[in-house]
């Protein structure tokens, strides 16, 4: 009897809880938020100023939820914000800066897109388009280096906002800021706009901001600078370096150490088709990389690569001059090869035993022969490795150093000539491998990315 008497009480309790839950499920008739007022106070601004947004919202039936704000200048979204709104009325005031950044056109419309949403998800939209942004006036710009003389740039192309200056006497590298005002010593007057290093490019900087570095190693010196005030870029020009016609190993290359080994090295400007007279090499036939030089005499050779500043490393132990593009040159200007079982194409022959980028003894550069066609000449030696593959094992890379699979050549997609094979197996995806057939010799290898072929030709 006691147990049975509890049933009515439990039913009453359950009904009470159910009723309480039902009472909290509030629904509203369909309604939409109303913009009672919405305005941007400023009609005209200069880039770098701010705008003041004032909005008054209401919804007499349904409580408000959020206000979405987008500030757009010249089709570029400058600011995005979600503002929480509560109750049936809401007042919002915000300030948004309009930055002076690259590609700011003059007299651009500043548009503010508003979307008010109530708790049932019904939305009202509004666009404010009452403000115009103007570029600041810049009658002149000064190049102010961290050391050395400052020079004035004048507006030579008003339509494209290009400022140009001549008669400069900088080296082929200069660290500088671009100032719209200078003091009596022609140094930066920070009360004006100043451009300097911003991220990876040029932008407005505050007092003490970093200078930007302009450089062109192919110049004897920088004598002209052009500043693009629309895109915030700078370019330099001057007298071009002349390609070397003589190279003295003991004079032009400086002692250096790579991977614990003694080298001599330097940046050398080689010109395509220019004959170079060498001093300090015993035999050009065995001392120069055949991909980059055609021997024309006992001490002379014509350079085959395109005009550029190259790295030249002389290895005294083997009397060999390694020549390669600068370390930051990447595909398509260059391809790089790294792996095992390969080495420079001259006696005494020596092969790599591990995958490394520590010195020119570890890898090989490819010369760009024509668009999509690369060549390198190398000594190869292959033996079975005991696992069904060969000790000659290498791959083509888009840069000198590790990257990722998307920046490597997948040799399995190429027709590879014997004695090499393109692999598609776990752990050796895309490698070029000698497999289990022993061989050795000097091979000229051509990679044709257009025809998808890799052709090795034994030359010694």
pLDDT tens-digit map of 36-59? 999 999 999 999 999 999 999 999
**Residue 253: what are its φ and ψ, rounded to 5°?**
-110, 135
Q: Output the pLDDT for position 24.
A: 58
Task: Return all residues near 322 (Cβ < 8 A) that are at least 6 apart.
Answer: 289, 311, 312, 313, 314, 315, 344, 360
What is the percentage of the chain residues whose pLDDT exceeds 70?
95
Least confident span in 3-12, 165-174, 292-301, 441-450: 3-12
At residue 25 the predicted structure's pLDDT band, cuts being 50, 70 and 90, is low
Architecture category of domain 140-237 in CATH: Sandwich (2.60)
- Domain assignments of the chain as residue spans, ordered by start: 34-134, 140-237, 242-326, 329-460
Is the pLDDT at 201 greater than 50, yes or no? yes
pLDDT at 5: 45
Pick the CATH number of 329-460 from 2.70.98, 3.40.50, 2.60.40, 2.60.120: 2.60.40
Among 77-86, 134-143, 182-191, 422-431, which is the least confidently predicted range?
422-431
Residue 88 has pLDDT above 60, yes or no: yes
Do the first three CATH levels of 140-237 and 329-460 match, i.e. the same topology? yes
Q: What is the mean pLDDT of residues 24-47?
A: 91
- Per-residue pLDDT of 355-408, as tens digits, reads 999 999 999 999 999 999 999 999 999 999 999 999 999 999 999 999 998 999
| Token pair 């001057």: residue | 238
pLDDT tens-digit profile of 215-241? 998 898 999 999 999 999 999 999 988
What CATH number belongs to 34-134? 2.60.40.10
Q: 299: closest CA among 333, 248, 342, 365?
A: 248
Give me the DSSP letters along 261-286: EEEEEEEEEE-TT-EEEEES-S-HHH
Q: What is the pTM of this model?
A: 0.65
Sign of the torsion angle spanned by Cα atoms 424, 425, 426, 431: negative
Rounded to an integer, what distance in angstroms lies between the CA atom of residue 8 and that of residue 24? 25
Residue 80, number of CB atoms within 10 A of its CB:
11
Task: State the chain's mean pLDDT as an integer.
Answer: 93
Distances (CA, A) of 306 to 266, 309, 451: 18, 10, 23
In tens, the pLDDT along 128-141 reads 999 999 999 998 99
């Amino acid at each position: 009897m006691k147990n049975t008497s509890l049933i009515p009480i439990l039913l009453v309790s359950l009904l009470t809880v159910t009723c309480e839950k039902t009472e909290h499920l509030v629904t509203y008739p369909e309604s939409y938020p109303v913009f009672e007022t919405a305005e941007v106070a400023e009609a005209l601004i200069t880039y770098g100023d701010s705008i003041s947004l004032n909005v008054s919202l209401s919804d007499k039936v349904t409580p408000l939820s959020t206000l979405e704000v987008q500030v757009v200048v010249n089709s570029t979204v400058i600011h995005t914000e979600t503002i929480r709104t509560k109750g049936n009325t809401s007042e919002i005031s915000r300030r948004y800066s309009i930055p002076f950044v690259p590609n700011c056109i003059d007299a651009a419309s500043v548009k503010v897109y508003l979307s008010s949403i109530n708790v049932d998800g019904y939305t009202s939209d509004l666009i404010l388009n009452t403000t115009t942004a103007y570029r600041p006036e810049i009658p002149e710009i000064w190049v102010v280096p961290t050391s050395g003389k400052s020079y004035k740039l004048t507006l030579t192309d008003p339509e494209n906002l290009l400022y140009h200056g001549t008669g400069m006497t900088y080296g082929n590298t200069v660290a500088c800021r671009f100032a719209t005002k200078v003091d009596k010593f022609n140094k930066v007057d920070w009360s004006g706009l100043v451009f300097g290093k911003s991220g990876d490019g040029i932008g407005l900087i505050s007092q003490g901001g970093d200078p930007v570095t302009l450089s062109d190693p192919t110049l004897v010196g920088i004598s002209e600078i052009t500043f693009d005030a629309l895109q915030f870029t700078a370019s330099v020009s001057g007298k071009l370096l002349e390609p070397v016609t003589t190279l003295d190993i003991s004079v032009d290359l400086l002692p250096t150490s790579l991977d614990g080994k003694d080298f001599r090295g330097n940046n050398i400007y080689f010109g395509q088709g220019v004959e170079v007279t060498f001093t300090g090499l015993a035999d050009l036939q065995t001392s120069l990389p055949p991909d980059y030089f055609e021997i024309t005499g006992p001490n002379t050779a014509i350079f085959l690569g395109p005009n550029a500043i190259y790295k030249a490393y002389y290895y005294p132990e083997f009397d060999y001059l390694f020549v390669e593009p600068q370390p930051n040159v990447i595909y398509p200007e260059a391809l790089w090869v790294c792996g095992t079982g390969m080495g420079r194409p001259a006696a005494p022959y020596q092969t790599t035993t591990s995958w490394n980028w520590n010195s020119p003894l570890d890898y090989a550069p490819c010369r760009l022969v024509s668009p999509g066609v690369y060549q390198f000449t190398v000594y190869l030696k292959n033996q079975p490795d005991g696992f069904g593959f060969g000790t000659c094992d290498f791959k083509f890379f888009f840069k000198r150093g590790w990257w990722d699979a998307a920046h490597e050549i997948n040799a399995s997609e190429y027709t590879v000539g014997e004695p090499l094979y393109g692999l598609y197996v776990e752990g050796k995806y895309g490698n070029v491998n000698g497999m289990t057939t022993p061989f050795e010799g000097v091979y000229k290898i051509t990679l044709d990315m257009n025809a998808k072929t890799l052709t090795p030709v034994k030359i010694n």
